[in-house]
Amino acid sequence: MAEAKDNASGKERLLDIYARLEEGRGISKKREAERYGVSPRSLQRDLDTIRAFIAGRNAEQGLDQQVLYDRSSKAYRLVPPQRRLLDNEEVFGVLKILLESRGLTKSELCPILEKLIECCVPKENKRMVTELIGNERLHYTPPRHNKAVLGTLWELAKSVKERRPVRLQYARLGERGTVERTVKPVGLMFSEFYFYLLAFIDERAAKDLSSDAKHDPYPTIYRIDRIRHFETEEGHFSIPYQKRFEEGEFRKRVQFMFGGRLRKIKFLYKGPSPEAVLDRLPTATVLKNEKDGLIISAEVFGDGVEMWLRSQGEMVELLENIEVPLV
């Protein structure tokens, strides 16, 4: 009876070690031996058994996995792991970013926090991580619109992926009622509390637009929480390669998600933190180090950068603001 119990506990130990290896966890023989109350030799036999199982599976399924000793962490690891989980510090960083972004309602955010902790944090650390974010979670303040956006965000993402036109009703800032637009969605972004749809207007269906607006070579920006209703239409649209939209490149140049034209600015920065300016304007380049400060050049999209420049007061002196012509 005692032998059967020992065999059962040995199998459970073996399965537990293998499961944690698959998750990308490190296995220390010394710690595991103490945890299970067995000798390091027993743990070595477990690892040898797992190695043999993996070797057989590699041969059958054409995989290339190994259990190797990682000297930096002094633990055995499965390389590559079957599924990699986030480390404690990675999970904590993601949780803090989500809480600080304030882009979601509390009913949308809390389940995400719980799932991240449940799925990605080791059992022994779940309580600590939960307590570390407990106060921020309790006092979390959602955006003022307090509207769920994840469902709309996902449906619009599918339209972007499938190149499907969208008919939407949109409430513009400071205006009553809504306007209707048929748009060609090309990207989605998040910036300072809000999610945005970036889309080219279908000029054929927008009779109330000016000629310049109809032929604007840059996408229009729509805040997703202001979209009152939308429908994905039949058919597909195409964008010429030379006008192909790239979210990453656009994101480097857009400030405050205001529309406008692509422009090149040059200014003298006299403040104490050049790093903050260079982080705020990813395309920024320091041209010259003058006695009064730094001459900085940047390529930016839209009118929002002017708001930022004015907010810097006497620390910034605008030297040049030129619209970049289309090539």
Tokens describing residue 164: 């499907």
pLDDT of 209 reads 62
pLDDT tens digit sequence for 15-37? 999 988 888 888 999 999 998 99
**Residues lower than pLDDT 70 in the chain:** 1-8, 81-85, 203, 205-217, 240-247, 256, 326-327
The reported pLDDT for the residue numbered 213 is: 55
pLDDT in tens, 266-325: 999 999 989 988 988 889 999 999 888 999 999 888 877 888 888 899 999 999 998 877
Q: What pLDDT is stored for residue 3 in this prediction? A: 45
The Cα 49–Cα 44 span in angstroms is 9
